[in-house]
Amino acid sequence: MQLKFLYMEFFPIPSNTTSDFYFEKSANYFDSEVAPRRAAALLPKAKVLTILINPADRAYSWYQHQRAHDDPVALKYTFHEVITAGSDASSKLRALQNRCLVPGWYATHIERWLSAYHANQRRASNFLTSHRARYALLRVLDPWILVLDGKLLRTEPAKVMDMVQKFLGVTNTIDYHRTLAFDPKKGFWCQLLEGGKTKCLGKSKGRKYPEMDLDSRAFLKDYYREHNVELSKLLYRMGQTLPTWLREDLQNTR
């Protein structure tokens, strides 16, 4: 009971009379086995947005995140040592390796979200026996999932926010082309305040760290090849635009 109460407080039941949107964001349960089923049970009408960057960069970003939080394993080992550690490595090193690598199996995780939510919506399209036709119909009737290009979000956030507002069906839209400005010191787009100053995200977002070494880049390119091919097929089936980083990656693969 207690858990349910906390959940309901965290996700208040939306009233039919308001046009408010409740949102929640986290990078940490995207790849969870149980989260999609739980989310679909708790919030069957939720819209889901996934922001994907190149999984190799995501792995490196996580490693840097852990170093910044003084994780002794991330401080002790280089990124290359972490991602290439073998089965004989310590359990702590393997755990860090998993948190760097596994969330980047994007197609596997998105499939899990799709099946959890589709299982919920099946009744609406029960007359269609083919899985593919059902996908297609649900895509048109109820676009509830949007896959966004994290690289584009970084370089052209206003353009991405236009897509988000359209997807959510926001009526009172905000023109982010006017409310965001590039801050050269931060190296990212930030909120533009009255008077021309900018308000950027905190120190923990957009950290400055060295470029990934080329050996790690090559290792991860190979490691994620099949996963990225699967992702491109899945996005095609879902009728979603391929992120530019994925297009480039696949072109280089060929």
Tell me which residues touch ligand PPS (CB under 6 A): 27, 61, 64, 153-154, 188-189, 201, 205-207
Least distance between ligand PPS and beta carbon 251 (Å): 23
CB 206 within 8 A of CB 194: no
CB 48 within 8 A of CB 145: yes
Q: What are phi and psi of 147, to 5 degrees?
A: -100, 120
Nearer to ligand PPS, 62 or 138 (CB): 62
Q: What are phi and psi of 199, to 5 degrees?
A: -120, 110
Nearer to ligand PPS, 30 or 134 (CB): 30
Least distance between ligand PPS and beta carbon 155 (Å): 9
Nearer to ligand PPS, 189 or 224 (CB): 189
Q: 10: buried, middle or exposed (CB in 10 Å: 19+, 13-18, 0-12)?
A: exposed
Least distance between ligand PPS and beta carbon 78 (Å): 17
Nearer to ligand PPS, 61 or 228 (CB): 61
Least distance between ligand PPS and beta carbon 219 (Å): 19
Least distance between ligand PPS and beta carbon 205 (Å): 4
How far is residue 40 CA from its own chain's centroid?
17
Nearer to ligand PPS, 22 or 209 (CB): 209
Q: Is the dihedral of CA 233, 238, 244, 245 positive or negative?
A: negative
Least distance between ligand PPS and beta carbon 166 (Å): 20
- DSSP tag of 89: S
Helices 35-42 and 106-121 meet at what angle, rounded to 10?
A: 30
Calpha distance 181→205 (Å, rounded):
16
Least distance between ligand PPS and beta carbon 233 (Å): 25
Rg of the chain on CA atoms, in Å:
20
Nearer to ligand PPS, 97 or 121 (CB): 97
Nearer to ligand PPS, 76 or 207 (CB): 207
The residues near 55 (Cβ < 8 Å, ≥ 6 apart) are 103, 104, 105, 106, 220, 224, 227, 228
